[in-house]
Amino acid sequence: MQFRARGLALVASVGLVVAACGGGGDDTSAEATPETTGDSAAAEGALVVWADETRAPVIEDIGADFEADTGVAVEVVQKDFGTIRDDLVSQGPSGQGPDVIIGAHDWIGKLVQNGAITPVELGDKTSEFEQVSIDAVSYDGQVYGMPYSIENIALFRNADLAPDKPGSWDEMIATGQQLVADGTADLPFAVQMDGEKGDPYHFYPLQTSYGAFVFGQTEDGSWNPDDLQLDNEGGQQFAQDLSQWGADGIVSTSVTADIAKETFNTGKVAYWITGPWNVADAQDAGINLVVEDIPGPGGQTAAPFVGVQAFMISNYSENKLIANEFVVNYASTEEVADALFETGGRPPALIASAEKVADDPILAGFAAVGAEGSPLPNIPAMDAVWEEWGLAEGAIVNGAADPVGVWNQMAEKVRENIAGA
């Protein structure tokens, strides 16, 4: 497929003198070849984009249009998604990094802190995106990414096993347990854990139903790293209930992502907390799939993290204006948003594209759940939270004698980590 751009303002105003795109500014990077630079694959005169295998083909198509219109080639370097942020920080200063990356919005705080990305000038196009996506890519009052997708987890229900939407957490668990007792299901309910490391991301909506969020917010809506709320009264109650769920076999550290997926897709569990990335496989497996809100065991709304994926511009790039043109006037078009949705299955952040799929019941289910959530905090302090948080969950599910004590100790370690960062 090919995408035609909606504007060539930069072509008219800039001579497009490309000074060895691909990051920093030493002579060796200008002379490098894909064979000698490894991951960077920087080519002289090319705009270098780092993307994972899902997005890379679409970006290559955008790049073909960009080169035809501007004469600037686009080199798409396929990388593992999980390595992009740290590789930009480590390789960018030496000139071995990209001009543009595609990444998660919660990377932004750490990248800004390291001087690794620069604001994206969306201008009037800002209003064309869902507001939650703009909020997610904003940091200290500036926009640091062009959002293209929004995602959150929700409850998958196999309507053949459980025809009715559960009215409460207790009702859902009771139905699941009865299915196990009848020999119809293997698990009463599925939510993944990474063994003893837990999984705070997937358990978060259960936790927030107790009023236990990660951080509080300042008056301007920014996340406040000095206001950790994990161990508030609701968090302590969550820890107690989590311990009981472990004892009752409702949750287990042995239910990994793969096991949860296989169990649901073979019709051996009626309920599964997961995200849009698992829709296609469930449907291909013939599951009568319904996506809906997660019953809140704590009595409040189960509010998941909302994640946004975005195009970001490297601060090490010598061609920031050209990179901004590529991101804002080529990658942000409706055609590209449609193609990225078709490839990745994540609901589009661009309003025009989102409206096209608004009648899809699966996407509508995710959107309704996401509307109750909030962007995953993009502040650097989040890096100090995940490990201890997950280990506490794992220990509690595995039968820690004092779940509240484990939870409170976790929160204190997190505070120490944040203070020492």
Q: Which tens digits make up the pLDDT trace of 268-323?
A: 999 999 999 999 999 999 999 999 999 999 999 999 999 999 999 999 999 999 99
pLDDT recorded at residue 109: 94
| Number of Cβ atoms within 10 Å of the Cβ of 68 | 11
pLDDT recorded at residue 299: 95
In this prediction, residues 164-192 reach a mean pLDDT of: 98
- pLDDT 10s digits, 100-112: 999 999 999 999 9
- pLDDT 10s digits, 321-331: 999 999 999 99
Residues 402, 408, 413: CA angle, nearest 5 degrees: 125
Note whether 14-151+307-370 and 154-304+378-420 share their fold: yes
In this model, does residue 145 exceed pLDDT 70? yes
pLDDT recorded at residue 27: 37
- pLDDT 10s digits, 229-270: 999 999 999 999 999 999 999 999 999 999 999 999 999 999
In this prediction, residues 118-129 reach a mean pLDDT of: 95
pLDDT recorded at residue 19: 40
Cα distances (Å, whole numbers) of residue 355 to 128, 179, 358, 369: 12, 38, 5, 17
CATH top-level class of 14-151+307-370: alpha beta
- Do 108 and 101 touch, CB atoms closer than 8 A? no
95: left (phi over 0), alpha (psi -120 to 50) or beta: left
pLDDT recorded at residue 270: 98
Cα–Cα distance, 386 to 409 (Å, whole number): 14
- Do 330 and 65 touch, CB atoms closer than 8 A? yes
Domain coordinates in residue numbering, the chain: 14-151+307-370, 154-304+378-420
Q: Does domain 154-304+378-420 have CATH number 4.10.140.10?
A: no
Cα distances (Å, whole numbers) of residue 246 to 152, 255, 287: 25, 11, 27
User: Residues 6 or more apart from 221 whose CB is under 8 A from it?
Assistant: 135
Q: What is the mean pLDDT of the chain?
A: 89
pLDDT recorded at residue 83: 96
Phi then psi for 139, rounded to 5 degrees? -150, 125
Q: What pTM was estimated for this model as a whole?
A: 0.83
pLDDT recorded at residue 420: 86
Q: Tell me the pairing of strands 215-217 and 223-228.
A: antiparallel
What's the per-residue H, E or C state across 20-33?
Answer: CCCCCCCHHHHHCC
- pLDDT 10s digits, 211-227: 999 999 888 878 999 99
In this prediction, residues 362-387 reach a mean pLDDT of: 93
- pLDDT 10s digits, 27-50: 333 333 333 333 333 345 789 999
pLDDT recorded at residue 49: 97
